[in-house]
Structure 1
Amino acid sequence: MGKRGAPAPRRRRGGRGGRGRGSARRPLGRVLLGGVALGALSLGGGAALAHWHTGGEPVAASGPAAASGPATTGPTVPGTPPRRSPQPPPPPKASAEASPGRPAPPSGSAGADPAPPAVPRSGPGTFTTAAASGAKAGTGTPRRYRVQVEDGTGISAAAAAHEIERILAHPRGWAAHGRGAFQLVSGEADFVIRIATPETADELCLAQGLDTRGEYNCETTEGVVVNLKRWMLGSPTFTGTPAEYRHLIINHEVGHEIGIRTHLTCPGPGKPAPVMMQQIKGLRGCVSNAWPYDEEGRYITGPIVP
């Protein structure tokens, strides 16, 4: 009775001793090793493909995401390279660089400052009178004037004459405010406006005792002498184009012609310089100005130079 009731001894599962545990781990190890190998092949293939697409140059890394390898979209299929995110196009080359085999843009083209015109230093001393005439500008008896340009300067006498005509008829000029009336003629005249090379202008002005030093204009007993250099280049002290500076030349010298014999100076910092101020010699705090009157019709004046 006692032997029949004793429990039977337990048998271990999986065979002898510890072999059961070892045999259970071997298949899992193979799976993990296979997955690592497959991942390495996939990454290596993707890196090789990326290298080939960029022409042998590695893709530049930017930020933490780039350090972990090429960016992919969607799941990776074993045996195929990962799909890379679109890369931005390379920046364009600077426009200032000349393309191979293409000449640089010529001087004076868009984006380049045009060279100042060449001004002849001297001329023959002979003049061509403009064959041009115009209507009277202003009220009262007109002062008739003719325009002459020294030969060899390349300036059209007729074109210069009509430009001077427009200057004298300007709404802020002498004629518009009753200080004189003017009329362009090609024959007999009350005074002459001559445009001359610097050396010729010096000779004409020196005959009146005026030293213009190859730089300045003057008023003589015969009329006005305009230095070609100032006509073509303007003045370094004047804020504006040479065409705008011509207004100052004509208005200043014609101001002497109509009887204003004194020069004025700056009335105060930031104010417009009087047209009868020798602005080329310095503005003394004033703002350059080419007209005798302001936009409200007020005469722009200042202290008289002793």
Structure 2
Amino acid sequence: MKNLKVFVVSDSVGETGEQVVKAAVSQFRPTFDNTVIRKFPNIENNDHIEKIVEIAIEQDAIIVFTLVEKKMRNYMIDSCNRENIQWIDLLGPLIHLFEEKIGEQPREEPGLVHKLDADYFKKIEAVEFAVKYDDGRDPRGLLLADVVLVGVSRTSKTPLSQYLAHKRYKVANVPLVPEVNPPEELFLVDPKKCFGLVISTEKLNVIRKERLMALGLNDDAIYAKPSRIEQELEHFNKVVERIGCSIIDVTNKAVEETANVIMEVIEQSK
């Protein structure tokens, strides 16, 4: 088997070029036998390019590069052609195509796609918040949340919290059980950001039975009985009436649908 050496040259971390090279190599050598892929990241000037070209000559390597600055791309191409080194420019043709299509000049700034902006950190913070204040674990989070969800067990509070977190909303949720008094913080929350999730007795009965069976338990437990569900829903109605919050029927709604309703209400109230 013939040896294959590929140099991935980038003015950023080189992740894009490396992944493309691996995808292509895997079509010939899925286990990457007799193959060397070497990254040269953070290339900043022509001297760096000259050094890489020298090594490529010695090791008979192909050069694959992702350079956003046109001058550096041209210098790399000229250097490779001068030394008869095989090369592939992954970004240049695409950047040129976009430039002609939209009539705009590229920024030529390395690493833009990898920069972690404020929006990214807001998403991470929201996801961590949803985990920390899930299922009423810490009622202090209710007053810090952008959205508060209340409902009986198995009304999609947790998946809905996570979905909204990925949309950058800090969400806390509280399960309502007749035998347990809701935290006092719940009644201090702005009703405009609180949402009660309600579901039909029949639907919840099916969901809870499936849950019990998934846990290896008997599906006729009181948890899934219609009488118990109706008792819980009655308690739910009393609590949400006291809060004065909106109520969303999630009986036949996907998590995404419910989330869209909540986001629309929240944005309109701002």
TM-score of the aligned structures, taking structure 1 as reference length:
0.20
Higher-RCO chain (CA-CA 8 Å, sequence separation at least 6): 2
Higher strand share: 2
Higher helix share: 2
TM-score of the aligned structures, taking structure 2 as reference length:
0.22
Larger Rg: 1
